[in-house]
Amino acid sequence: MKAKSYYVGLRKRKKDHYWNDQEYQFVEYKPKNKRYWIADPFLFDYGKNTFLFYEVYDRIKRKGLIGYSIIDSEGIITEPQIVLEEKHHLSFPYVFEYKGGIYMMPESADDLSISVYRAIHFPDKWERIKILDDIYSCDSIWIFRDHSIYKLLTSEMFRPAPEGIIHSCYVKNKSFAVYDGVIHIDKDKFEYIGEGDYGIRNAGACFYDGEMQIRPGQNCTDGIYGKGLIFFSVVSVEPYSEKEIRSLSTSELDKHLKRTGNEELIGVHTYNVSSYYETIDFSFMDQVPIWCNIANLIYRGCRKMKQMISVRK
């Protein structure tokens, strides 16, 4: 049986971005363990290494976990290490530094909340700090002013979605005022940014190209989740305004992706950059091992049994 799966592409930078190199190439990275696929890659430079964080989708538990790999100075990538698991699905592990601390802000829409996790011991121990609740949103990022955290920008999904609309494609963006950095958010104070399926849903962290702040967005038009990426320059943060500057389609990426298979690419929806690397994800229909499906049936059966025992007690 085949199912939609995501994997990660990595490009070593020479202090440029891929769009400045006509011969750019992203190299595929896939875990050896077929239990997992990985998506939503984020990069974080720490010491002499670059850490690659991502959603690790567990085909047995059927939910997203957060994991990481280390990219050493030789470009060697380690196998995934799981560092965060909740009862609900997690993805989009936005890792950032703030006032000397390291934080992560993963997507937790299934929990109807937005939380940050503070690294007690980087990269494997994290403490949760909930900053917003009763909100069904995904892929939250920070907007900067003078290179400092200024506002929270989140892609709020519809629940339930209007008829004919895929809830993960069509979103409305809101920016929330930030008080004392990443800790205090006033839910009642927000600015409506935009609504739709063309570049509205965030596709990665804001980054700088010189003094220009850039926001990556997802192209989800025609009801296609991950049809491509659109990049916007942030013209103003108060009030917020932006201007489209470039885009990347799945078909274009396919020409610049070195990978092991030849399956048709059907999506790309995340881009992030660090001092040394650029990363992207891509999707195609991948073969799911039979043992994963069998293990999922056993896993669901054990969970149901535990729930029945808990009710009887």
Q: What are the residue ranges of helices labelled H in the chain?
A: 250-254, 290-312
Q: Judge contact between 15 and 9, C-beta under 8 A.
A: no
Q: What is the mean pLDDT of residues 60-86?
A: 94
- The pLDDT score that the predictor gives to residue 280 is 98
- SS3 of the chain: helix, strand, coil, percent, to 5: 10, 55, 30
Q: Chain-wide mean pLDDT for the chain?
A: 93
Write out the two tokens for 210. 């010189």
- The pLDDT score that the predictor gives to residue 14 is 84
Spatial strand order of the sheet with 2-12 comes to: 257-258, 26-29, 2-12, 277-287, 271-273
Give the span between the Cα atoms of 196 and 284, in whole angstroms.
25
CATH number at residue 239: 2.115.10.20
- The pLDDT score that the predictor gives to residue 248 is 96
Q: What are phi and psi of 303, to 5 degrees?
A: -65, -45
Per-residue pLDDT of 34-44, as tens digits, reads 999 999 999 99
Instruction: Identify the weakest region by mean pLDDT among 8-22, 171-185, 208-222, 286-300.
Output: 171-185
- The pLDDT score that the predictor gives to residue 153 is 96
Q: What is the mean pLDDT of residues 64-69?
A: 98
Residue 162 has pLDDT above 80, yes or no: no
- The pLDDT score that the predictor gives to residue 182 is 65
Q: What are phi and psi of 157, to 5 degrees?
A: -95, 160
Q: What is the mean pLDDT of residues 197-226?
A: 95
Strands 198-202 and 184-196: unpaired
CB atoms within 10 A of CB 105: 25
Written as one letter, the residue type at 193 is I
Q: Judge contact between 180 and 202, C-beta under 8 A.
A: no
Contacts of 14 (CB under 8 A, 6+ apart): none
Per-residue pLDDT of 281-300, as tens digits, reads 999 999 999 999 999 999 99
Write out the H or E segment, with its range, that includes residue 27. strand 26-29
Segments forming the whole domain that contains residue 46? 2-312
Q: What is the mean pLDDT of residues 116-139?
A: 94
241 or 161: which leads in pLDDT? 241
Residue 152 has pLDDT above 90, yes or no: yes
Which pTM was predicted? 0.95
Contacts of 99 (CB under 8 A, 6+ apart): 181
Counted domains in the chain: 1
Give the span between the Cα atoms of 152 and 187, in whole angstroms.
11
Q: What is the mean pLDDT of residues 246-258?
A: 96
Q: What is the mean pLDDT of residues 130-155?
A: 93
Q: Judge contact between 110 and 88, C-beta under 8 A.
A: yes
